[in-house]
Amino acid sequence: MSSYHERSSSWTFLTHHARVLLEIARDPEVRLRDIATSIGITERAVQGIVTDLHEAGYLARERVGRRNRYSLNLDQSFRYPTEAKLPVRLLIEMFTQHDLSQDQSLESH
């Protein structure tokens, strides 16, 4: 039988959809290949997630040369009924604020 640590390490609180959205929030011109590498899934999976997010109204794509630039609809509500009255902005701000505080702590050392 596996230990609790081995079993508990296979899940996280954030879905891949949330992680892709956060990566795009951090860098609106990020390449899908870089998102895939960053979160540990295939580029094809990221493409599917970006399509899901686009179709659900969470992001828009604009072609700039050979690349895409993404913009987020931060007022779009979460999909799950218990959070449906809350904007996705809360998630984005929570994690991008975390990124900013990490950057500031690195600069102060």
All structural domains of the chain: 13-107 (1.10.10.10)
Q: Would you give the distance in Å from CA 39 to the centre of its chain?
A: 9
Average pLDDT over residues 41-66: 97
> pLDDT > 70: what percent of the chain?
81
Token pair of 91 as six digits? 């998630």
Contacts 24+ apart (CB under 8 A), 17-22: 17/49, 17/52, 17/53, 18/91, 20/46, 20/49, 20/50, 20/53, 21/53, 21/58, 21/59, 21/72, 21/88, 21/91, 21/92, 22/91, 22/92, 22/95, 22/96
The per-residue pLDDT for 6 is 55
Q: Is the pLDDT of residue 84 over 90?
A: yes
Token pair of 62 as six digits? 């604009």
Contact between 23 and 30 (Cβ < 8 Å): yes
Token pair of 105 as six digits? 């702590």
Average pLDDT over residues 28-56: 97
Q: What's the whole-number average pLDDT of the chain?
A: 87
